[in-house]
Each structure stands twice: as C-alpha cells, then as structure tokens.
Structure 1
Amino acid sequence: MTLYAVGDIHGFSAQLDRALGLIDADGGPDAQIYFLGDYTDRGPDSRGVLDRLIAGRDAGRPWKFCKGNHDRMFQRFLEAEAENDDRIGSGKSWFHRALGGSRTLGSYGLDGEAQGFLMNGGVETLASYEVDGRSVSKAELARAARDAIPEAHRTFLEDLPLFHETDDLIFVHAGLRPGIPLHEQDEDDLLWIRKGWLESSADHGRLVIHGHTALDFPAHHGNRVNIDGGAGFGNPLVPVAIEGGSIFTLDEDGRTPLEPGR
C-alpha cells in the first residue's frame, strides 16, 4: 500500500491544491495522506487551508493530521490570548512578521498588523494592533477572532493529534527526542525539537517522517525524512509517496526517488 505525506503548508492554499492534485494523479482519490502540521501562518489563506482539510476529512477521505507548533500558537491565542511560546528562543510574538499570525487572522477578515512591540525580559509582546484602521487591544482582537473563526476550525485545531504511527513509520511535525519511547515524548519536543534531533543518527526503530525545519527541498537522512521543503517561505509544497520502504517526491512529471543522503 502506498502512503502519502504533506509537510508544512503555512497558509498557502493554492500550493495545497496542487499537492492534492499530484497525489490524486499518483494514487487516486482514496489515497491515504498524512498531513504533518503547520497548516496556518505566513501564507495568505490559512482559512482556506483549514476549509480544505476539514472538508476532505468530513467527506470521508482517509486523511490523518498532526499538530504543528504554528497550529498550537494559533489555538493558544484563541483560547488564552497567548502570543508567545517558551520554545521560541528569540522571544518573538506570534504577531511578528516572521511567524505570521497577523496573516492568519487576516484570512478570516481581520485585516491588520502590529503597530509596535514591547520587550520584557527578552520576550516580545504587542504594544498596539490595528484592524481596519482602528487600534484595538489584544483582548479585543482575541474576542473578534473568536467571533470570526468558525467553531469547526477551532475544534479541528484543538483535536489535532501529536503523531501517527504504522508498523514501519512515525509521522510527526518536528521530530523526537532520541532515546525516549514514542508515547513518553514531551509535547513541546514533538512540536518544536531541532537541537538533539537533527544531528542525531540514532535508529528510532521506524523511519520518521517529519517537517518543521524548512529546507529548499525534502531530504532523506536515513533514519528520518524531512519533507518541509520551505513552502512557508515561497517554495513549492512537495508531497511524498512512501511505498515498500522507498520514498518518492511527486511533481507534474510523476515520481522521483528520494534517496538517503540526497
């Protein structure tokens, strides 16, 4: 059986449509697809991305979803007006342009941006925010967001699993802490890990398919395959097919083998 995986989409719904078309051409409409998270932020149409994923799920497509760190930041802002995460070493706010929270809210009709930030102990927080030419507080912005964002989208974000597994594969957003059993992994590591993971050559028992760390193109590292090809930074979204232990990238010309070390 061929499985498919899609890495970080980051609000680029047109790229998602293209990737789904490539998978459909390779495996048909009933293809089993694993989505690895970071559906939102940076791109112009986070709402459209979630609409497509939820519609596919509700239509009975055999799709499985993992939560990404950006999805959790979006969720936490809606739930608790949080704009920071302890795993962001720079202290940047979710509303900083590098993270893209403002573009996510804009896709729901809340067009605006931060007008300034305050720094407190190295942590950046909103000083002011403008929506449609009007200055609003963070609490006002959060209330407006909760009103604008469909309940189905909020429930989707809340219910996202942290990983999926098969006999031979582990699907997760960021990666694993080496040496720790899968079901004992820390949530923050599953969503954020880089140090201690990317440089590890440890055998994790199964091949790990992940995203989170943007590359210019998916890469096979032997014990893991990073399929975040940088769609959040303007690169094409590259889906992969997994069959018989082999990994293939998909484009309009079909399959290309993705070999370890390449």
Structure 2
Amino acid sequence: MRSYAIGDIHGHLDKLQAVHRLIEADRARTGDHDAPVVHLGDFADRGPDVRGVIDYVRDGVQAGQPWINILGNHDRMMWYFLQPVEQPDPLRNDLHWLMLDINIGGRKTLASYGVDVSDDRPVWEIHAEGRAKVPAEDLHFITQLKEYHWQGEHYFVHAGVRPNVPLDKQAQDDLVWIRGDFHDHKEPFGPLIIHGHTVIDNVTHYGNRLNVDTGAAYGGPISAVVIEGRDVWQLTEDGRVPVIVQQ
C-alpha cells in the first residue's frame, strides 16, 4: 500500500506546488497515479498566500485528484474567528488569532484576502471586513477537512493522538493540538501515525510515528514523503531518499 503525505503548508503556495511536482515525478516512475496524497493540515496562517493555497487544493479535489485534506489547529482557529461572533479556539482560549506578541498568523491570512490588518485597527473592524471578504466557500472548505485519515497501516493526522485511547475515539482537541504525551509515547500505536504540527529540522521516523513538519511557517521547506508499509522515503529533486527509523 502506497501513500503520499505533505507537511504543514501555512500559506506557501509556491512551496506546495513544488512538492506536488515531486509527487508527480514519483508517480511517473512507479506508474501509480491513484495512491492518495494527504495534506496534513495548517493550510492557514503565517505565509503570504493562504487564499491561493485553499483555492489550489479545492480546485485539485474538484478536478478529481486523489487528495485528502486534514484539519489543522490553525485552520480551526481561522474558522472560529470568522464566525458571526468571533470565538477563540475551544482548547486555546488564551490565544487570539490576531494577537501581535505571538505569531499566530491570522493577520497574514486575512491580508491574503485584501483585509486591512493594521496594528492600530480595532479587532471588531478587522473581523467585520474579514467576514465580508473571506468567501463562504473557503470557510466551507475548512468544515470539510477530515480529523484524520486511516488507511491500512497508515493513520494521518495533524498533531497526533492521545495514547491509550482507541484511534477511532480520539478527541478533536488532541488531533489538532497534542504534543507532549503523544511525542513521549514509545510503544506502537498499531498503524504508523503520520503527522505534522511540531516543527523539526528534518523529516523524522520514530518507529511508531513519522513527523513531516519541517517548518514552512518559519522559512523552512514543505516536505513530502512516500510511504509503503512502514518504509518511508522523502521526495527530492533527485528522487527518493530513505528516511531511516531513529534509534
């Protein structure tokens, strides 16, 4: 069974298109044009063209591409802020999507839609203009994102899973936000968990999980991998490079 996965995107359309070209090159080598491509979430925030990313992914799905799209915490924050009455993320009400002292990235997202996000502008004005300028179909796109995708030996999710909870009984808060308890768990989860959310320098295979977020939000690349059973390769301009299980 073959699957492809793409790490956190964060509004970087050019980088996203580049890794899709790598996947198409790998498909040409294998002759497999049906294996799914899973975007691991965080389409929104921090990058320059969130609107372009959402358009590109939605257009690909509508054209029949075998793309599966996972909900990230930044996508969820975007959706909650742009409701008729803005709301914080249900788990992280300590974080405001537009806050200036921590780079959540909501202002970058709204700027891609032509919203004036000047620092001195009242939040209620930014919210009203965002509601007017972000198309309803883009918010609908977020509602259609999957919490996880489970296919045979591969379980795709944005952040991770809660150990010792059945994989089909996980809470959305954990699926989009979890870190410590998930990262610290060394025992098998059953399927290989393929995730992003936590930035690392290089795609890393821990045996029970695979982290694909290489920091596009902070100037790093978007990474793409191909997974066959428990074997993983990172896709590069020179072809496949094995990702060896970390000892």
TM-score (norm 1): 0.87
- After superposition, the C-alpha distances for 1:86-109 in whole angstroms (9 at most, x for unaligned) are 337xx3321135111000000000
Note if 1:67 corresponds to 2:50.
no
Residue of structure 2 in register with 1:125 after alignment:
none
Give the counterpart of 2:110 among 95, 105, 112: 105
Residue of structure 2 in register with 1:55 after alignment:
59
Distance (whole Å) between structure 1 residues aligned to residue 225 and residue 118 of structure 2: 35
Residue of structure 2 in register with 1:7 after alignment:
7
- Name the one with the larger strand percent: 1
Shift of 1:140: 3.0
Residue of structure 1 in register with 2:49 after alignment:
45
Note if 1:114 corresponds to 2:116.
no
Residue of structure 2 in register with 1:225 after alignment:
210
Gaps of 5+ in 2: none
Distance (whole Å) between structure 1 residues aligned to residue 233 and residue 186 of structure 2: 21
Residue of structure 2 in register with 1:123 after alignment:
none
Matches within 5 A, 1:202-213: 202-213=187-198
Count of residues paired in the alignment: 240
Shift of 1:14: 0.7
Give the counterpart of 1:240 among 215, 225, 228: 225
Shift of 1:83: 4.4
Note if 1:168 corresponds to 2:172.
no
Contact 1:218-1:227 within 8 A present in 2 as well: yes
The SS at the match of 2:162 is: coil
The SS at the match of 2:18 is: helix
Contact 2:153-2:229 within 8 A present in 1 as well: no
TM-score (norm 2): 0.92
Contact 2:7-2:196 within 8 A present in 1 as well: yes
Matches within 5 A, 1:75-154: 75-79=79-83, 80-83=85-88, 86-87=91-92, 91-97=94-100, 98-115=103-120, 129=121, 137-154=122-139
The SS at the match of 1:114 is: coil
Q: Which residue identity lines up with residue 66 of structure 1 in the other structure?
A: I
Change (3 A) 1:183 1:113: farther
Distance (whole Å) between structure 1 residues aligned to residue 128 and residue 24 of structure 2: 39
- After superposition, the C-alpha distances for 1:220-256 in whole angstroms (9 at most, x for unaligned) are 0000000001111111111000123210001111100
Identity of aligned residues (%): 42
Distance (whole Å) between structure 1 residues aligned to residue 144 and residue 89 of structure 2: 21
Contact 2:4-2:37 within 8 A present in 1 as well: yes
Distance (whole Å) between structure 2 residues aligned to residue 84 and residue 168 of structure 1: 31
The SS at the match of 2:38 is: strand
Q: Which residue identity lines up with residue 46 of structure 2 in the other structure?
A: R
Distance (whole Å) between structure 1 residues aligned to residue 5 and residue 69 of structure 2: 10
Contact 1:6-1:36 within 8 A present in 2 as well: yes
Contact 1:9-1:232 within 8 A present in 2 as well: yes
- Give RMSD over aligned pairs: 1.6
Distance (whole Å) between structure 2 residues aligned to residue 58 and residue 201 of structure 1: 39
Shift of 1:160: 1.1
The SS at the match of 2:132 is: helix
